[in-house]
Amino acid sequence: AKDSISSPNYVKISARNQSGDFDVSKILKDACKGLKDCSVGGHAKASGAVILKKDLEKFKKNILEWAKIIKNPLNSTTKIFK
């Protein structure tokens, strides 16, 4: 049987960007690509994800790639900025 998201096998993640400068929902969705049982919901300014604990390091790596884009958006063609 599949664990529920409240299982210790999952990690809950919350992201906020009240300035609205970039879309945190899109970032979380992209960071979940390739991860098994990853779920994302929310909108541009506030979003959340649930991932398997075993995928946490990969998720962090994906988020750090986004941090590089956010820090230096001129080096990217990614459409997360408004």
Task: Measure the CA–CA gap between 80 and 74, rounded to whole angstroms.
Answer: 12
**What pLDDT was estimated at residue 1?**
47
H/E stretch holding 42 reads strand 39-42
Mean pLDDT for the stretch of residues 56-78: 78
**What pLDDT was estimated at residue 67?**
83
DSSP 1-29: -PPPTTSTTEEEEEEE-TT-SB-HHHHHH
H/E stretch holding 50 reads strand 46-52
Interval 21-62: pLDDT, tens: 888 999 999 999 989 899 999 999 999 999 999 999 999 999
